[in-house]
Structure formats: structure tokens, C-alpha cells
Structure 1
Amino acid sequence: MKRVLLCLSLLAVVPTAVNAGQRRAPDQSRAREMRREGGPPLRDIQRQWHSRMPGYDYLGSDYDPGQGSYRLKYMRDGSVSWVDVDGRTGREVGRSPQ
């Protein structure tokens, strides 16, 4: 009986994991497509911006597939700043706060 319950509980988890992977795939696919088109990889963009943000701690990034841009997150003195960077060129397209 325990084995049956274990098998049923595992079957309930598998579709959730598969669906989660399907939701992430378009972002990852678009990022790979941009890289094939000649855009700089995220690690190069991060390295470029690290030198432009002295005194800030890098918190991470998000990718916006609709805009084809990355949002790099930084913090200094308890305040968070974002830099939006074009994923194709690595150029800044926005910043908050200014």
C-alpha cells in the first residue's frame, strides 16, 4: 500500500515539473536565438556593467523576451537600482532611479 501511495504522489509531481519547464523555455529559446544573431552573452553584459557600477553590489538579472532586454539589479546603501540593457547590443536603454 505504501508503494502505491508513493507512486501516485510521484505521478502528481511529474506534470507540474514538465509544465514549469515549458513556461521557461520561450525565454531561454529567445536568449539563445539572440546569441546566434550576434548579441553579447549575458555574462559579457554583466562584466561590462560591473565596471560601470562601482560601489554597487550586483543582485542578479531578469530577461524580457518581448523587449529583448535584460534588467540588471544592483544595490548600494540599502537602495536598489536597475539598469535595462538591450540584449542585442549591450547598450543601456533605461535606468531606475536616474
Structure 2
Amino acid sequence: MLRASLLLAVAVSGLAPGSADSRPRDREQDAAFRATQDGSFVPLRQIEARIVPQMRGFTYLGPELDPSAGRYRLKFMRGPQVVWIDVDARTGQVLGKSGF
């Protein structure tokens, strides 16, 4: 009985809402990869190498990509303060900052 319950729990856990949440992120990563490969976007690592050191005192939480807008949004945090840096993925130029 215990074994059957464990098998059922494992089978049902694959249907948890968290598994569906990764799909948009996967599409985002695929779009970024394709655009970087064809030269449309500046590689994210290049952008991070330039922006992250300028944000001394902040913890870098990671990027988001809006492929249709061609924009990366880099997220930083210091204490309760959250800051976003919007960067043009095509040129690598900073478009704006919010949260300061």
C-alpha cells in the first residue's frame, strides 16, 4: 500500500503547476539563443560583463528577455530595494533604469 501511494505521489508531482512555468522561460532562452547566433542580439554574457560591475553593492538576480521588444531586463537587489536595468538586446545600450 505504501509503495502504491509513493508511486502515485511521484506520478502526480509531474503534473504540478511548477512544471508548466518553465515553458515560457524555455521559449525565452531559445529565442535569445537564436537571435545571438544569427547576430541580431548582443550575447547576454557580454551585456552582463559590462553592467553588473557598475552595480556595486547590489546582488544580481538575473535577466529576463522580451524577445518581441528586443530588450533584456536585468534585476538587482540591495536590501528591500529592487532595481531593473533595461538594455537593448540588439545594441547592448542601456534604455532605462527603474527602482532607484
User: Do the aligned residues in 1 keep the contact of 2:71 with 2:89 (CA within 8 Å)?
Assistant: yes
RMSD of aligned Cα (Å) = 2.6
**Cα distance change on mapping 1:11 and 1:30 into 2, 3 Å:** same
**Higher RCO (CA < 8 A, seq sep 6+):** 1
The alignment-based identity, stated in percent, is: 32
Give the distance between the partners of 1:48 and 1:3, measured in 2 at CA: 53
**Which runs of no fewer than 5 residues in structure 1 stay unpaired?**
none
Q: Name the SS for the 1:95 alignment partner.
A: strand
Q: Shift in Å at residue 10 of structure 1?
A: 0.6
TM-score, normalised via structure 1 length: 0.74
**Cα distance change on mapping 1:24 and 1:83 into 2, 3 Å:** closer
Q: Does 1:59 align with 2:60?
A: yes
TM-score, normalised via structure 2 length: 0.73
Q: Name the SS for the 2:14 alignment partner.
A: helix
**Which runs of no fewer than 5 residues in structure 2 stay unpaired?**
none
Partner of 2:73: 71
Aligned residues: 97
